[in-house]
Amino acid sequence: MASHRVRPKTAGTYVRRGIVLTYLFLLVVWPVSLIAQHTFGNGFGNLHTALTDPAVTSALRLTIYVSIWAVAINTVFGVGISLLLTRYTFPGRSILSALIDLPLSVSPVVVGLALLLAYGGTNGLFGPALNSAGFQVAFATPGIVLATTFVSLPLVIRELVPVLTEIGTDQEQAARSLGAGPWQTFRRITLPSIRWALVYGVVLSLARSLGEFGAVKIIGGNIAQQTQTATLVVEQKYQDFEQPTAYATSFLLALIAVAALVVVTVLRPKENPDGD
Amino acid sequence: MTTTTTLTAGATRRRRPRSATSLTRSSGLGLGIALTWFSLLVLIPLGLIVIQSADGGWHTFHDTITSPQTASALRLTILQAFYVTVVNVVFGTLIAWVLVRDEFPGKRLLEVIIDIPFALPTIVAGLVLLSLYGPKSPIGLNVANTERSVFLALLFVTLPFVVRTVEPVLIELDPEVEEAAASLGASRFTILRRILLPALAPAITAGAALAFARGISEYGSLVLLSGNLPNHTEVASVRILTYIENGDKAGAASIAVILLAVALAAILLLQLLTRAVAKRG
């Protein structure tokens, strides 16, 4: 790690600092703070209107339900896939490792279309079979869970893989040689060392899940009070000229996102501790 | 944050020798389950897009992407994503520089601010930008329903990418090398060109690839801001949605496959750069 002793500050230091702060203020800080201003412009009225609107409350409930499912699925598979990628060799491992990142780069609209082609009720690949088994995916909650799981899939894995690689396998092997079973080794040795990375990944997945818009709109169909999530209700309320409600709902979503970031920043080990 | 791939050679060097084992029966079963899930969720659905786009034959694909409205949407998307990427290369590197080399109170807060565009729901991002740069702008700057709104929205959502890929590399870079060069008489421009840029180039490229891929695929933040005017502010992902709503899945898949190819290319580039850096380190 580079040394972090104090370097002399030149005029350039202040110019660069000024440019960066202005840029970030105009692009992020000012616009985001206006959300709070629009929400609380006349006290808690807007928030109250939003939270007593059945369309908003049912959307928030759906979003929370879907996010919990998506995060749970991604945590289980994330831990599993991370362990497989770092602890075992098998053909195609590097391809799998590259493909895991794909969901972060794919357009949400493309995700929605892809899921519709696979799980659409009438002419999807699996949709009709699932439908006749009494399980509707597209335009129903399972489809929204799938879309949300898709877009937040890599987040846990991306946090865990570097940590698992870094800690190595010495302790795990020691535990195994002393007679611990795989589950005991995982619970007593591996899990404690990846704990914070896992929390970090879960918080990020949660933030991402709450905010998904495009994929959920296509696979869910945006049916009010049925498959309309919180982000979709923001769009509708804004276009229906119920802008205070749109702002209040946005404020709630933004609040959760920023809270998640603060949690993550506090938890994250400092990469360049001050005064080292 | 998560959007970054650590391109530091140091991280690779510190890596302990891997003592990976081949699959046991239970881990093989786990891999089977994981791969099945990943295929059902990601690979098969995305594969169906490729199949669907090829289904109508070359003519359908060609007719779709050359229809004036779609061609205009693709042009706008690629062009604005490109502009935004260029701005990100400059400002992202500058922000990373300030975050690593500068010390001032509230720097930790800046780290949070950088990540806000990533964590904020995209529809909220659009609404947020609309409140400062829309019709009711307190500074009288209204870009809503113009091409500039597309640029602005993409600039917002792609902010973290270059910053987060360049930052770890810059942390690893020892300022003493620059000081040594300066003491040997190198000008600041020479130091930038001969020492800093070669070291940062892979990270900047990686960040730029991610930003471009994100830019061309953006949808949520544009819905409220750009107005989706055909031939004017309509982007590729909005075109896909229109095709889906009209029941033309082959048309939708034709544009989707282009976006998918760019996403894959970005990931491939990232992998190659990561490997190249690891080798050099």
- Looking from the CA of A194 toward its CB, the CA atoms found within 13 Å total 32
Q: Chain B: residue nearest A218 by CA?
A: B241
Task: Name every chain A residue with its beta carbon within 8 A of the beta carbon of B43.
Answer: 99
Smallest Cβ–Cβ distance between A19 and the set B40, B94, B115 belongs to B94
Share of chain B above pLDDT 90, in %: 42
- Beta strands, E only, chain A: 88-89
A43 min Cα distance to partner chain B (Å): 18
B104 min Cα distance to partner chain A (Å): 9
**Residue A78: predicted pLDDT:** 94
Using the Cβ of B160 and the Cβ atoms of chain A, whether some distance falls under 8 Å is answered with no
Smallest Cβ–Cβ distance between B263 and the set A13, A102, A257 belongs to A102
CA B211 to CA A36: how far, in whole Å? 28
Task: Name every chain B residue with its beta carbon within 8 A of the beta carbon of A113.
Answer: 49, 240, 244, 249, 252-253, 256
Q: What are phi and psi of B32, to 5 degrees?
A: -60, -45
Task: Name every chain B residue with its beta carbon within 8 A of the beta carbon of A2.
Answer: 171-175
CA B50 to CA B34: how far, in whole Å? 23
Smallest Cβ–Cβ distance between B45 and the set A80, A118, A213 belongs to A118
Task: Name every chain A residue with its beta carbon within 8 A of the beta carbon of B249.
Answer: 113, 116-117
Helix count (H) and strand count (E) of chain B?
Answer: 15, 1
Does the distance separating the beta carbons of B171 and A272 come in below 8 Å? yes
> pLDDT at residue B5 above 50?
no
Fold category of A67-266 in CATH: MetI-like fold (1.10.3720)
Using the Cβ of B171 and the Cβ atoms of chain A, whether some distance falls under 8 Å is answered with yes
Nearest to A120 by CA among A154, A148, A150, A146: A146
Tokens of A86: 């770092």
**More confident call, A212 vs A265:** A212
How far are the Cα atoms of B54, B175, B195, B273, B280 from residue B277, in angstroms, in the given order? 37, 19, 15, 6, 5
**Residue B280: predicted pLDDT:** 65
DSSP B20: -
**Residue B234: predicted pLDDT:** 92
B224 min Cα distance to partner chain A (Å): 7
Over residues A123-131, mean pLDDT: 87
Does the distance separating the beta carbons of A80 and B30 come in below 8 Å? yes
- Give residues with Cβ within 8 angstroms of B74, minimum separation 6: B65, B236, B239, B255, B258
**Residue B20: predicted pLDDT:** 58
Report the amino acid identity of residue B135. Answer: P
Task: Name every chain B residue with its beta carbon within 8 A of the beta carbon of A24.
Answer: 95, 110, 113-114
Q: Are B52 and B249 in contact (CB under 8 A)?
A: yes
Question: Residue B63, SS3?
Answer: helix
Using the Cβ of B272 and the Cβ atoms of chain A, whether some distance falls under 8 Å is answered with no
A73 min Cα distance to partner chain B (Å): 10
Tokens of A196: 């914070």
- Looking from the CA of A235 toward its CB, the CA atoms found within 13 Å total 25
Does the distance separating the beta carbons of A17 and B237 come in below 8 Å? no
Does the distance separating the beta carbons of A149 and B220 come in below 8 Å? no
Does the distance separating the beta carbons of B218 and A107 come in below 8 Å? yes
Q: Chain B: residue nearest A252 by CA?
A: B124
How far are the Cα atoms of A24, B38, B143, B160 from residue B224, in angstroms, in the given order? 22, 33, 12, 22
**Residue A276: predicted pLDDT:** 34
**More confident call, A119 vs B14:** A119
Between residues 91 and 130 of chain B, which touch chain A (CB distance below 8 Å)? Answer: 91, 94-95, 97-98, 100-104, 108, 110-117, 119-124, 127-129
Q: Chain B: residue nearest A79 by CA?
A: B34
Over residues B220-224, mean pLDDT: 91
Q: pLDDT digit string (tens) for A53-68?
A: 999 999 999 999 999 9
Does the distance separating the beta carbons of A165 and B15 come in below 8 Å? yes
Task: Name every chain A residue with its beta carbon within 8 A of the beta carbon of B219.
Answer: 107-109, 213-214
Domain boundaries, given as residue ranges, for chain A: 67-266
Nearest to B269 by CA among B197, B199, B210, B196: B210
**Residue B23: predicted pLDDT:** 76
CA A24 to CA A21: how far, in whole Å? 5
Tokens of B47: 């594969």
N- to C-terminal Cα separation, chain B: 22
Over residues B35-61, mean pLDDT: 89
Q: Which long-range contacts (CB under 8 A, 24 or more apart) does B46-50 make?
A: B46/A102, B46/A106, B46/A110, B46/A114, B46/B260, B48/A114, B48/A117, B48/A118, B48/A125, B49/A110, B49/A113, B49/A114, B49/A117, B49/B253, B49/B256, B49/B257, B49/B260, B50/B253, B50/B257, B50/B260
Instruction: Please report the ipTM that was assigned to this predicted complex.
Output: 0.87
Q: Are A229 and A66 in contact (CB under 8 A)?
A: yes
> pLDDT at residue B1 above 90?
no
Smallest Cβ–Cβ distance between B27 and the set A84, A112, A126 belongs to A84
> pLDDT at residue B17 above 60?
no
Distance from chain centroid for Cα B211: 3
Smallest Cβ–Cβ distance between A155 and the set B2, B128, B236 belongs to B2
pLDDT confidence tier of residue B122, bands split at 50, 70 and 90:
very high
CA B11 to CA A55: how far, in whole Å? 49
Q: What are phi and psi of B4, to 5 degrees?
A: -100, 150
Task: Name every chain A residue with its beta carbon within 8 A of the beta carbon of B175.
Answer: 2-3, 7
Q: pLDDT digit string (tens) for B177-189?
A: 888 888 898 888 8
Q: pLDDT digit string (tens) for B124-141?
A: 999 999 999 988 888 888
Domains belonging to chain B, first-starting first, are 59-280 (1.10.3720.10)
Using the Cβ of B43 and the Cβ atoms of chain A, whether some distance falls under 8 Å is answered with yes
**Residue B133: predicted pLDDT:** 93
Q: What are phi and psi of B34, to 5 degrees?
A: -60, -45
